[in-house]
Amino acid sequence: MSNTPVWAHTPLDVAVSENGEKSTGLHAIWHDESGESDIDSARQAYELGEFRTLETAGSTGLSAGAFWSHFALRNRDSQPTTLHIEYVDHQLVGLKAFSREAASGDLYREISHLSIYEPFASRQVAHNRFVFPITIAPGATQELMVRFDVGDLGVAFPSLRIWSPQALQQNSKGETSLIAFLFGGYFLMAVFALVGAIAIKEKILYIYSFYCASKILVWGTVLGYTHQYLMTASSHWGYASLSGAVAIMAGLVFARTFLETRQFTPKLDFLLQLMMLNAAFLIGCVLLELKALSQISMIIALLCYPIVVPIAMIRWRQGENAAGVFALGWTTLVLGLLVQAMRDLGFVVHNPVNYYWPPVASFVEMLAIMGAIGLMVQRLRLQKDRAEKKYLQQLEISKSDLEELVQSRTRELEAAKIRAELEARTDPLTGIHNRRSFFEESNLLLKLARRKGIPLGILMLDIDRFKSINDRHGHLIGDQALCATARVISQHVREVDVFGRIGGEEFALLVSADGPGTLVIAERIHRDIAKIIITSAQGPVQFTASIGVAQLRGEGDVLELLQHADNALYRAKRSGRNRVLEYACVES
């Protein structure tokens, strides 16, 4: 192999006062997909012209193996210059640097070997990113080969910034101050939320506190500060993925709880559950050291993360104002992650602004979510204040003297007892008898009918295809359909009859009438239900009902009579719905 220097580009002039504005490393790149090349292989590839200018904005994209960069630095000062060469990003498994004086043609010698698996103390320069020193003689040109190891699958940014030791140290202080500010904010938010959770026993604050703490974990690990200050003995590629998976899981659990998707958007809640399952899968891949699968799972998690925004907007449209603020915060986070993804894929130039944009966006997200929690707490407080005000108003009624107060309190207690008894006997949606109350009243009517020889008939009614109404128009329209049905039936209920809701969309009406009279009532109710029209977002909603009719004969009880009517209702359903059928085989 020839020792004659081969130049692909002009050496970069440097001086003792470099402040990081100059960078190099992108003009001559060689990709070794096997990741097994050494300096001799790289030098041979360079002399064969296999090094090429990186065509992206600065990233190699997701790749395997190693990348080699060749460049040269020329010292224009009249004195030896010591420089610190900084790798611009954090997503790198290892870095090796080789150097030789261009004029000598000597073999390259290794000047730096950095790896995340090595103790932090072994680094030549104490910095959260990879930095190696180099000294160049006055007027000399130093030729460098740098190897970027991305492992089985990763991203490399071959760009290297050039600093004087003093300038790098000063810049590092500024960056550390920014991170300390962000982490301090995360910590305070986590502590305040935890204290609030303990004070008011609110589950959402516990989850938010953990979510804040996970932000410190993930950004501290991703940016290299965990290795620098906590796990100094060694690090691992999986720590960043694991901390990211924990933060993603915490964010999804918080979003699902805060937005109450299980209750108000059950179908979209299923998507959040799938995203949580992927986060759990990511944690498993990291623990089993399946790097390729963990990278794919992480990409899926980040691509799905924006789904939370439209879910929050739907909850906002449903009337939850705090969800609108939550959507703004989550959108900020998504934009930060999008910038990071575009930078990693090489579509956006790597610079300090977009390097720190994701953690700053994440911090803004947490502030917005804290504001959303504040709105939620304010709403709960207003509800509490209104309830307390109403209660105080009730207590202030008739305070003219002690006797009147005692009488007033007695009346209130009696009224409360009546309300409690009424609530225990009444269906909360339709205001008619519930199942328990229906049977109690029906048994009383049955005893009266037997004592006085009054005929009894029963109607068992079920709204046809009620589930499709809920699925197509929503539970709100379904509830309106139930209430409208109850109102229509109530118009045919006399004082001596018993009417109640005994199931989801099932109603029962016990009437003091003979067989023909019971059928007449059933046909009228069937006809009037078909006239019901409910307005919905998709247009007018109409529906029908199926009715089973039975007549009391012999010594049967209400439960037996209801079973006969239910059998008739079943036959009505089986024979096409939207009809009235009478039970024809009641035993005497």
Active site residues: 505
Q: Could you tell me the maximum CA-CA distance found in the chain, to the nearest angstrom? A: 124
Query: CB neighbours (10 Å) of residue 396?
Result: 10
Query: What would the two tokens of residue 386 be?
Result: 């209104």
Strand (E) or helix (H) holding 66: strand 63-75
Cα dihedral value 309, 312, 316, 318, nearest 10:
130
Query: CB neighbours (10 Å) of residue 57?
Result: 15
Query: CB neighbours (10 Å) of residue 377?
Result: 16
CA pseudo-torsion sign 504, 510, 511, 517: positive
> CA 213 to CA 225: how far, in whole Å?
15
Q: What angle do CA 116, 122, 124 make, to 5 degrees?
A: 100
**Local structure of 279: helix, strand or coil:** helix
> CA 534 to CA 477: how far, in whole Å?
8
> CA 501 to CA 1: how far, in whole Å?
94
> CA 584 to CA 87: how far, in whole Å?
88
> CA 350 to CA 156: how far, in whole Å?
11
> CA 571 to CA 548: how far, in whole Å?
8
> CA 551 to CA 519: how far, in whole Å?
10
**Local structure of 234: helix, strand or coil:** coil
Terminal CA-to-CA distance of the chain, rounded, Å?
112
> CA 505 to CA 588: how far, in whole Å?
30
User: At 145, phi and psi to the nearest 5?
Assistant: -120, 125
> CA 172 to CA 155: how far, in whole Å?
23
Query: What would the two tokens of residue 298 be?
Result: 């992480």
